[in-house]
Chains A and B, each alone.
Chain A
Amino acid sequence: MTTAVKANNKVKRMTSDKIFNFFLYLICGIGTIIVLYPMYFIIIASFSSPTAVSSGSVGLFPVNPTFDGYIKLLGYTSIWVGYRNTIIYTILGTAMILAVNIPAAYALSRKDLVGRRIFNLFFIIPMFFTGGLIPTYMIVKNFGLVDNFWVMIIPFSVVTYYIIVARTFFENSLPDGIWEAAQIDGCGNLRFFFSFVLPLSKAIIAVIALWAAVGIWNQYFNALIYLRNAALQPLQIVLRSILISNQNMASMTTGTAAQEAQELAELIKYAVIVVSSAPIMCLYPFVQKYFNQGVMIGAMKG
C-alpha cells in the first residue's frame, strides 16, 4: 500500500519535474537568444550592404557581404586617434590604479596598523558623500589638469571599492604566520610587501587590473567634463559624436545621392561598434573566471 503511494508520488514528481525542466530550458533558451541576437545582428549588419540593412532584409546572415563600412572607417582619423589615446589611457591608468590602491589595501588589511579605523573611514566616506561635479571640476582646474593628458590617469585613480576588495582578499588569503616569521628573520614591511605579498596576490591583482582596464576603456564621463582638445579625446568621445550626435556625416554627402550617403553612414555606425567593442569582447571569455572571482571576493565583505 505505502509502496504504491510512494511510487505514485514518484511518478507525479517525475512528470512535474519534466514540465518544470521543459519551461526552464525554454525560458533560458529564449533569454539567450534575446541577449545574443542584438550583438550578432550588429556584426552581420556591419558586413552587409547598406541598402539591405536599412530595408530590414538582414536577418540571420550578412546580405551582399561587403567591407565598405570598415574601409570607410579606415579613413576616419579621429577614430584611430581616439583608439590610440584610449589604449594609452587604459595602460597607464590601470598601472596607476594598481600602484595606488593595492599598497593602500595591504596597509589597511594589517591589524597592527595604528589608526586603521580612521583610515578605513577616510576611504569609505567618499563612497557616500562627495563634493559633486562643480567643486570637483574647480579643484581639478586649479591643479591645471583641465585639458591635460594626465587628468585621465591621476586624479580619480583611488577607487574605494577596489581597496575594499583587495583588503578583504589580503585579510582572508594571506596566512597569518608569514608576517611574523618574516619579521623574526629581519624582513621589513616594504620588503615583505614586495617579495611576499605581491607574488602571493597575483589573483587579486589580475582581477583589479581587469576591472580597471574595462572601466577606463568604456568610460567617457571624465573626458566629457575635463577634455576639450580633440587630440586628447578617448575613443568613447569619438564614438559618441559618430553614434549619437551624428557628426562627421556631412562630409559624406558630397558626390553620392543623399539616400545612399545616409545608408552608408548607418553602416559605418555598425562597423564602428564592432571595431570599438571587439578588443574587450574577445578578451572577455578568456578572463571571465577572474571577473567572477573578483565579484565573489567583493561579496564577502557585504
Chain B
Amino acid sequence: MALSFQKIGNESSLWQRIWRNRALYLLLLPATILMICFTYLPMYGITIAFKDFSPTLGIVDSPWAGFKYFTQYFNSYNFWTTIRNTLIISIYSVIVTFPLPIVLALLCNQMTARRFKRFFQVSTYLPHFISTVVMCGMIILFLSPSSGIIPKMLGALGINVPNLMGVAEAFPHIYVWTEVWQHCGWDSIMYIAALSAVDPSLYEAATVDGASQWQKMIKIDIPMLLPTATVLFILRTGSIMSVGFEKVYLLQTTLNLTYSEIISTYVYKMGLISNQYSLSSAINLFNNIINFILLLSVNLLSKKMSDTSLV
C-alpha cells in the first residue's frame, strides 16, 4: 500500500497530499467529532422551532407547525418587554463599558511610577476572576437594605436608599456598573498592549516639539488605539442582542422582573422550566438570526468605511 503511493509520489495529486498528512487529520479528529455532535447536530434540532414538538414523537416525527410559535412570541406580552430590556441593558453596557477600558489604558500608559503602575494593573485585573455567582452574591450582600454596606454608607451621609434589588428601574444600572467594576481593568489589557507597541521615538519627537503629556495622549495614543477599538467595537455591536444569561438570571427577583427579563432568561424559562420546547427554540432562533444579521452588517459597514473588518 505504502509502496504504491510512493510510486505516484512525484505528481503529488490531491489525494496524495491528503494521504501524506493523514496524521494531521487524526489530530483534528477529536475536535471535529465533538463539534459535529454537540454543535452541528443541535443546529438540525432548530427545526423544532417550526414544529409542534412532542417528546414522545421526537424531533423528526413531530408534526410541522410553520411559524405558529414565532407569531405566538411576537403577539405575546413578553415580546416587547424582553426585547426592550435586552436592548436597554446591552446598549447601556456598550456606551459605558466600551470607552472606559480605553480611558483606563490611556491613564495607565501615562503613569511613570513603575511600582504603582504595576500595582494598579494587577488590582484592576483582579475582579475579573471572581465568578459570576460570587459577584452576584456580593452585589446582593452589599445592597441588602438591612445589613448591606452601600445603604449603610449612604445612610451615614443622610441619603436614604430603598432596597435597590427590588427597584426594577435600578436593574440596568446595577448590572452595567458592576460590570465596569469587574471587567474594566481586564478589558483594557488589549489597549495597553497596543499602546506598548507605539514607537518611543514618537514621544521623544513630541517632547522636543514642546508637547505636554496631555497633548501626547490626545495626539499620539488615541489615534494609535483606533484600529484595535474598531475591531472590538464591531464585535460588541454584533452581539448587541445577546446579553449574557448568567448574571441577569442570578440578579433577577420577582420585584425587578419588569426590567430584568431578557431574551435569554425568557428562553431558559420557557424551555427548561415550562417545557415549551418549540416556543423556546423559536425565540432563541429569532434572537440568533438578528444577532447574525447585525454582525454581518456592522462588519460590512466597517469594511466599507475603514478597511478594518473581522473576516
Contact mask A27-43 → B, CB, 8 Å, 1/0? 11001101110110110
- The answer to the question of B127 belonging to the interface, with a C-beta cut-off of 8 Å to chain A, is yes
Chain A residues with a Cβ closer than 8 Å to the other chain, count: 98
| A119 CA / B189 CA spacing, docked (Å) | 30
- The answer to the question of B28 belonging to the interface, with a C-beta cut-off of 8 Å to chain A, is yes
- Which residues of the other chain, A, contact B27 by a CB distance below 8 angstroms? 103-104, 106-107, 189-190, 193
- Which residues of the other chain, A, contact B281 by a CB distance below 8 angstroms? 132-135
| Given A20-B212, A218-B131, A276-B134: A189 and B24 interface contact (C-beta under 8 Å) | yes
| A80 CA / B210 CA spacing, docked (Å) | 62
Number of A-B contacts (CB under 8 A): 274
Is there an interface contact between A288 and B181, defined as CB atoms closer than 8 Å?
no
CB A226 to nearest CB in B, in angstroms, measures 10
| A71 CA / B138 CA spacing, docked (Å) | 21
Of residues 186 through 211 on chain A, the ones whose CB sits less than 8 Å from some CB of chain B are 188-190, 193
Is there an interface contact between B41 and A139, defined as CB atoms closer than 8 Å?
yes
- Which residues of the other chain, A, contact B82 by a CB distance below 8 angstroms? none
Q: Please list 30 pairs of residues, one from A and one from B, whose beta carbons are closer than 8 Å in the complex, sorted by A's number.
A: A20-B110, A20-B214, A28-B111, A32-B124, A35-B127, A38-B142, A56-B153, A56-B156, A100-B34, A114-B21, A130-B288, A134-B281, A136-B39, A137-B271, A138-B48, A138-B277, A158-B31, A188-B23, A189-B23, A218-B130, A218-B133, A219-B131, A240-B133, A243-B133, A270-B141, A276-B131, A276-B134, A277-B131, A277-B134, A302-B310
CB A297 to nearest CB in B, in angstroms, measures 10
Interface centre among A140, A243, A270 (most CB of B within 10 A): A243
- The answer to the question of B107 belonging to the interface, with a C-beta cut-off of 8 Å to chain A, is yes
Q: Which partner residue on chain B sits nearest A56 by CB separation?
A: B152
- Name the segment of A87-95, A249-257, A278-286 touching the other chain: A278-286
Q: Which partner residue on chain A sits nearest B308 by CB separation?
A: A302
Is there an interface contact between B39 and A295, defined as CB atoms closer than 8 Å?
no
CB B1 to nearest CB in A, in angstroms, measures 16
Q: Which partner residue on chain A sits nearest B22 by CB separation?
A: A189
- Which residues of the other chain, B, contact A225 by a CB distance below 8 angstroms? 272
| A143 CA / B37 CA spacing, docked (Å) | 9
- The answer to the question of A258 belonging to the interface, with a C-beta cut-off of 8 Å to chain B, is no
Interface centre among A55, A112, A113, A134 (most CB of B within 10 A): A134
Is there an interface contact between A220 and B133, defined as CB atoms closer than 8 Å?
yes
Is there an interface contact between B45 and A108, defined as CB atoms closer than 8 Å?
no
- Which residues of the other chain, A, contact B126 by a CB distance below 8 angstroms? 35-36, 39, 281, 284
- The answer to the question of B228 belonging to the interface, with a C-beta cut-off of 8 Å to chain A, is yes
- The answer to the question of B77 belonging to the interface, with a C-beta cut-off of 8 Å to chain A, is no
- Which residues of the other chain, A, contact B25 by a CB distance below 8 angstroms? 107
Is there an interface contact between A302 and B131, defined as CB atoms closer than 8 Å?
no
- Which residues of the other chain, A, contact B194 by a CB distance below 8 angstroms? 299
| Given A107-B24, A133-B268, A138-B45: A31 and B124 interface contact (C-beta under 8 Å) | yes
- The answer to the question of B198 belonging to the interface, with a C-beta cut-off of 8 Å to chain A, is no
Is there an interface contact between A103 and B123, defined as CB atoms closer than 8 Å?
no
Contact mask B131-165 → A, CB, 8 Å, 1/0? 11110111011101011010011011000000000
- The answer to the question of B6 belonging to the interface, with a C-beta cut-off of 8 Å to chain A, is no
- The answer to the question of A221 belonging to the interface, with a C-beta cut-off of 8 Å to chain B, is yes
- Which residues of the other chain, A, contact B220 by a CB distance below 8 angstroms? none
| A302 CA / B302 CA spacing, docked (Å) | 14
Is there an interface contact between B59 and A138, defined as CB atoms closer than 8 Å?
yes
Contact mask A62-105 → B, CB, 8 Å, 1/0? 00000000000000000000000000000000000001110110
| A275 CA / B16 CA spacing, docked (Å) | 57
| A52 CA / B86 CA spacing, docked (Å) | 39
- The answer to the question of A126 belonging to the interface, with a C-beta cut-off of 8 Å to chain B, is yes
Q: Which partner residue on chain A sits nearest B286 by CB separation?
A: A132
CB < 8 Å neighbour of A16 from B28, B35, B134, B212 = B212
| A217 CA / B141 CA spacing, docked (Å) | 22
- Which residues of the other chain, B, contact A143 by a CB distance below 8 angstroms? 37
- Which residues of the other chain, A, contact B147 by a CB distance below 8 angstroms? 53-56, 263, 266
CB < 8 Å neighbour of B134 from A101, A113, A131, A243 = A243
- Which residues of the other chain, A, contact B23 by a CB distance below 8 angstroms? 188-190, 193
- The answer to the question of B224 belonging to the interface, with a C-beta cut-off of 8 Å to chain A, is no
- The answer to the question of A156 belonging to the interface, with a C-beta cut-off of 8 Å to chain B, is yes
CB A148 to nearest CB in B, in angstroms, measures 13
- The answer to the question of B245 belonging to the interface, with a C-beta cut-off of 8 Å to chain A, is yes
CB < 8 Å neighbour of B43 from A55, A99, A129, A214 = A129
- The answer to the question of B232 belonging to the interface, with a C-beta cut-off of 8 Å to chain A, is yes
Of residues 256 through 287 on chain B, the ones whose CB sits less than 8 Å from some CB of chain A are 267-268, 271-272, 277, 280-281, 284-285
Q: Which partner residue on chain A sits nearest B244 by CB separation?
A: A221
- Which residues of the other chain, A, contact B129 by a CB distance below 8 angstroms? 214, 218, 277, 280-281, 284
